[in-house]
Amino acid sequence: MIIKSLGLLPYDESLEKMRKFTRERSKSTEDELWLVEHPPTYTLGLKTKPEHILNHDHKIPLIQSDRGGQITYHGPGQIVAYTLFDLRRLNLTVRKAVRLLEQTTINLLSSLGIAACGNDVRPGVYVNSKKIASLGLKIRNGYSYHGVALNVDMDLEPFDNINPCGYPDLNVTQLKELDVNLSIDEVRQLWANQFILSFSN
């Protein structure tokens, strides 16, 4: 697996890069994990309903995505792990890939002393019923892209303008609120290590 830290990247630019990589890859292409942050952006999954946008702050763009799921927010201080993986080579169904992405994140949080869990009805990772990581994938010809976003140390206020992931009663949290005093670079490296453990075959 090739791991790339791409810094702060506009969402639409990263989306086009993922599509291009997936379109051009072959059975021999090595899987890649891209770790990025985005400027403030709302992204609309394929199932987004207009009523889940409560109060659009027009300073923050709304961008249609081709991932699964509904609306979420990205911003600086959140690490997004884009998983450009060959699921057939990894012998993973989509459901198994989702569960493994969740478990990889749960393992990271456990290493930081945080008890987290998944949810069979609401994909993602939760701490004390608050969502700390959101997940959405797109599969094209057996290859995945998009991935999972982990809240580290960000402004959570823009989440108040939406029903995160389409759930009106869903609250969000982040590592900073859980007294994890690591830099975003340190968290990024620890998470990358967990991905290597989970997905290297």
Neighbours of 123 (CB within 10 A): 22
Cα–Cα distance measured from residue 165 to residue 152, given in angstroms and rounded to the nearest whole number: 18
What are the structure tokens assigned to 5, written together?
A: 């830290």
Cα–Cα distance measured from residue 110 to residue 93, given in angstroms and rounded to the nearest whole number: 25
Position 47: which residue type? Answer: K
Active-site position among 165, 170, 172, 187: 165
The question of whether 165 is a catalytic residue gets the answer yes
Cα–Cα distance measured from residue 170 to residue 195, given in angstroms and rounded to the nearest whole number: 27
State phi, psi for 153 to the nearest 5 degrees: -150, 80
Position 43: which residue type? Answer: T
- Tokens 């927010």, residue located: 73
Which positions are annotated as active-site residues?
165
